[in-house]
Amino acid sequence: MTDEHEHLTTGWEPDVPIGDTLLRRFVLTWADHLGTVAAAAGGRVERSDAALFTDAGTNCIFDNAVMLLRPPVEFDLEGELAAADAFFPGERTWLLLSPWPMPPRTGPGWAPVGHPPFMLRPAGGSAPSVPDGLRIVEVDDDAGVADYATVVREGYPLDDAGVIGDPRAHVPALKMFVGYEGDRPVSAAAAWIGDGIAEVTLVASLPDVRGRGYGEAVTWQATLAEPALPAGLCASDLGRPIYERMGYLPVTRFTLWMRLPR
C-alpha cells in the first residue's frame, strides 16, 4: 500500500533522469538531434514538458516534427497539437512522432504514416568486412555533406534532403558516413551521439546498387560510431530483417502521423 499522496513515477516526468530507461534515452536523444540541427540551420524550436516542436524551414518531412516527450494520457494532447498548428506555417507538412499508441487522428488534415519498430543493439562487437567495390568515408567537409544529401535525396527519394544537406547542421554530435563506388556516392548513414545512446538515422542507398550490402555496411559504421554505446533506430518493416541480422532487437513500435498543409 502507498500513501494516497505519494507519486508513483511513470518514468516520463521532466525531472526523471534520462538514463531511467533505454527508450527514454532514445526519445530524448532523438529530440535533441531534431532541435539542435533545426536551430543550427536557422530554423525554429520550441519545447514544453510534453513535446518538442521543430520547424527547420525545409521541405523535407523528416525535419519538421512534433516529438511527444510524455505519454499522451499524461497531458492535454489536443491542446498541445493546437499549439503545434499555431507554431507551424499553414503550408508546412510536419510529422507527429509518438513512442506510445495514440488515439486515431480523425480530423481533416491528418494522414497515418505507420508504426515503425524501435530497435536497439547492445554496445560492442565489430563490423564485418566492407563489400568489394565500396569505400566508406566519414564526412568531414562541405563536399561530403553534399554527397550525403545526394544519396538521401535520390535514395528515398525526396525532393529536398533538408538539413542533412546543410553544412551548418553538421555539428560534432552528428557522425555522417558515405559509401562510394569509385567516386560516386551510393550509400549513406548517420548517427547522433547522445547521452548514453547512438541514434542511427537517415540510412539510404541508391536504387541501382541495392542488394550489394552497401547500405548495411554504412549502417555498421553509424552503429559503431561510438562503440561503447548501445545504438537505437526506428526501422521500416522492410529494413527490419537487415537490422535484426546486425544484432538489433525489436523493443516497441512508435506511432507516426502526418499533418498536411492547411
Q: How far apart are CA 131 and CA 135, in angstroms?
A: 9
**pLDDT number for residue 49:** 94
Judge if 109 and 31 occupy the same domain: yes
Residue 4 within a domain: no
Q: What's the pLDDT tens digit per position in 228-240?
A: 999 999 999 999 9
pLDDT value, residue 74: 94
Same-domain check for residues 159 and 238 = yes
Query: With a threshold of 0.85, does the pTM exceed it?
Result: yes
Does 64 reside within a domain? yes
State how far the alpha carbon of 25 is from the alpha carbons of 21, 96, 178, 204, in Å. Answer: 6, 19, 26, 24
How would residue 4 be classed by pLDDT, with cut points 50, 70 and 90? low
The pLDDT value recorded for residue 2 is: 55
- Do 65 and 45 meet the contact criterion of CB atoms below 8 Å apart? no
| pLDDT score for 107 | 86
- Based on the domain organization, do 81 and 154 belong to the same domain? no
Question: What does pLDDT average to over the chain?
Answer: 95
Instruction: Give per-residue pLDDT as tens, 132-149.
Output: 999 999 999 999 999 999
Residue 12 located in a structural domain: no
What is the chain's alpha carbon radius of gyration, rounded to the nearest angstrom?
19
Is 3 contained in some domain? no
Clarify whether residues 50 and 105 are in a common domain: yes
pLDDT value at 257 more than 70: yes
Domain count of the fold of the chain = 2
Length of the chain as a residue count: 262
Does the pLDDT of residue 154 top 70, yes or no? Answer: yes
C-alpha distances in Å from residue 99, one per residue of 114, 128, 143, 169, 254: 12, 31, 35, 25, 4
The distance in angstroms from the start CA to the end CA of the chain is 50
Res 262: pLDDT? 84
Q: Is residue 10 part of a domain?
A: no
Share of the chain above pLDDT 70, in %: 98
Is the distance from CB of 238 to CB of 211 less than 8 angstroms? Answer: no
Rounded average pLDDT over 184-198: 97
Q: What residues make up the domain containing 229?
A: 121-250
Q: Residue 6's pLDDT is what?
A: 78
Same domain, 62 and 125: no
Please tell me whether residues 143 and 218 are part of one structural domain.
yes
Q: Say if residue 138 is in the same domain as residue 66.
A: no
For the segment 60-104, what is each residue's pLDDT rounded down to a tens digit?
A: 989 999 999 999 999 999 999 999 999 999 999 999 999 999 988
